[in-house]
Amino acid sequence: MAADPSGAVTDADVKLVPTVGVLEGGTIQQIYRHREEITVQGPDTDGDVPVTFAQTYQNVPMIVFKGGQYVSFSGSLGNGAGIKQRLRLQVLDPTASGFKSRTQIANPGAMTPQSDDFVGGALNGNDGAPGVGNTREADLNPGGANDDTYTAHFTVFVEAHSAIGAHFATLVIAIDTNDGLGGPWIERATRSYNVGNTSPGTHNQTWSGEAVGVTVSGLGLNDDVRIRIKSFSVSGQSPDGNYTVTPLSPGVTYTTAADTVESAIPSAGDSVTWVAQEVS
Amino acid sequence: MKTWASDQGLEPQSQTIDRDAGEGPPRCCGRRLVAADALVCYDELAPERLVAVLERLPHLKGVTPLYLCDACGDLIIREAVVTREDRALDFGLGQDVVDKARDLDRKTARVSTSPS
């Protein structure tokens, strides 16, 4: 394969652009890096089982549910006409090194919607002043989501430009949490946003109403969720670029309730399988 | 807890450390980009617990000062190499933090993984 002046590896109509992805036609496909399959086996008394990945990923990977054999109904949680039991198949406390596999049956109490806003306005940056490390934080009040899930809401705009040729811009946003145990922030999710083209011009895209959910145990009153600019880069031929990340209102949404919960993998032979995969 | 950001007086504290570019403390793992306020110094951990950490992460023997990123710090908690409560006590954190840490400490796992 040849490489053009922007560093892109070219082959007919498909281009591999370092740090950006595979460009085919006008579509940028992010690059698959690594994946692994994880099987969590019962018995487990509460259904929350810690998992460590075979290797540490660069970012928190996507973790998807593949299947398994698990309990889907429990008579001890009640079986009256008004009772609707829920299965909770959740990626709990995700990081780049692992997570907790949550496999539970829940009988939720009456759920109360909660929301807390990010403080401060939009986050802006460009190739000259990339604003990497800038954040917007939301203090949780009351916190304590009944399913431990908190969803961050924001809108992303990314633009790249070149008057003479290829131009690409890549913005990576992290969602971090802080459980109040002395200060360390933990990256819980990342999202990558790419725009660009191999021809001169300006290309941009807006991702409206992004909703990134993170499931994290132990977050309570005054604990924090933040949006962080993890990286911003431009590449190509004399390229420039910029971005805007606008927190929405409500900024972080979740529900509170008094739940009754049981393990959904209480016996030997019960299991649940996940697939972790990172793209970039 | 002491972080790379607080120890170096960085602003913003959450700025990204590019470890491939040689930024930050001696690296704990292969991750390239880590937030400065997610790099926690573990030098104050009790000696017996530091030994346990280095048995789990043997590639870090001899690394000083010892900073762990959020992924590695979570790994030793997740695998109960160190409990949150012990870490909080060793780091001299307040009783409210110690109490909350104790509440969050959980159990260990029965798991098999296979790269595919």
Cβ-Cβ contacts under 8 Å between A and B: the total is 159
Amino acid A24: pLDDT:
72
Amino acid A241: pLDDT:
97
Residue B7 tokens, joined: 């120890």
Q: Do A228 and B35 touch (CB under 8 A)?
A: yes
CA of A33: which chain B residue's CA is closest? Answer: B116
Q: Do A50 and B33 touch (CB under 8 A)?
A: no
Q: Do B113 and A39 touch (CB under 8 A)?
A: yes
Task: Using the predicted structure, report yes or no on whether residue B107 has a pLDDT greater than 50.
Answer: no
**Kind plus residue range of the DSSP H or E element containing A126:** strand A123-126
Amino acid A273: pLDDT:
98
DSSP B37: G
Task: Using the predicted structure, report yes or no on whether residue B5 has a pLDDT greater than 90.
Answer: yes
**Within the 206-265 window of chain A, which residues sit less than 8 Å (CB to CB) from chain B?**
217-218, 220, 226, 228-231
Q: Do B74 and A186 touch (CB under 8 A)?
A: yes
Q: How many CB atoms lie within 10 A of CB A109?
A: 12
Q: Is B115 inside a domain boundary? A: no
- Are A233 and A115 in contact by the 8 Å Cβ rule? The answer is no
State how far the Cα of B34 lies from the Cα of A59, in Å rounded to an integer.
9
State how far the Cα of B18 lies from the Cα of A132, in Å rounded to an integer.
11
The shortest C-alpha distance from A1 to chain B (Å) reads 27
**B93 is in which domain, residue-wise?**
4-104
State how far the Cα of B15 lies from the Cα of A113, in Å rounded to an integer.
33
Q: If you average pLDDT over residues B49-60, what whole number do you get?
A: 96
**A207 beta partners:** A156
Domains of chain A and any CATH numbers: 2-30+112-256 (no CATH), 33-108+259-279 (2.60.40)
Amino acid A183: pLDDT:
62
Q: Do B100 and A96 touch (CB under 8 A)?
A: no
Cis check: omega of the bond before A142, within 30 degrees of 0: yes
**A228 beta partners:** A135, A174
Please name the member of A48, A96, A275 whose beta carbon is closest to the beta carbon of B106.
A48
Positions of chain A with pLDDT under 50: none
The shortest C-alpha distance from A162 to chain B (Å) reads 26
Residue B98 tokens, joined: 């110690």
Q: Do B30 and A56 touch (CB under 8 A)?
A: yes
The tens digit of pLDDT for each residue in A115-162 reads 999 999 999 999 999 999 999 999 999 999 999 999 999 999 999 999
State how far the Cα of A47 lies from the Cα of B106, in Å rounded to an integer.
12
Nearest to A123, CA basis, from A260, A243, A19, A261: A243
State how far the Cα of A259 lies from the Cα of A59, in Å rounded to an integer.
32
The shortest C-alpha distance from B46 to chain A (Å) reads 17
State how far the Cα of A126 lies from the Cα of A160, in Å rounded to an integer.
10
Please name the member of B31, B103, B108 whose beta carbon is closest to the beta carbon of A58.
B31
SS3 A127: coil
Instruction: Give the pTM.
Output: 0.90
Confidence class for position B93, pLDDT limits 50, 70, 90: very high
- On average, the pLDDT of chain B sits at 89
- Are A257 and A86 in contact by the 8 Å Cβ rule? The answer is no
Cis check: omega of the bond before A50, within 30 degrees of 0: no
Q: Is B110 inside a domain boundary? A: no
Amino acid A22: pLDDT:
77
B15 interaction partners in chain A (CB closer than 8 Å): 132-133
Q: Do A185 and B97 touch (CB under 8 A)?
A: no
Q: Is B43 inside a domain boundary? A: yes
Q: What is the ipTM of this complex?
A: 0.90
Q: Is B116 inside a domain boundary? A: no
Confidence class for position B108, pLDDT limits 50, 70, 90: very low
Nearest to A176, CA basis, from B76, B61, B55, B37: B37
The shortest C-alpha distance from A123 to chain B (Å) reads 13
Orientation angle between helical segments B47-56 and B70-78, nearest 10 degrees: 100
**Kind plus residue range of the DSSP H or E element containing B99:** helix B95-104
State how far the Cα of A171 lies from the Cα of A164, in Å rounded to an integer.
22
State how far the Cα of A56 lies from the Cα of A39, in Å rounded to an integer.
18
The tens digit of pLDDT for each residue in A146-155 reads 999 999 999 9
Domain count, chain B: 1
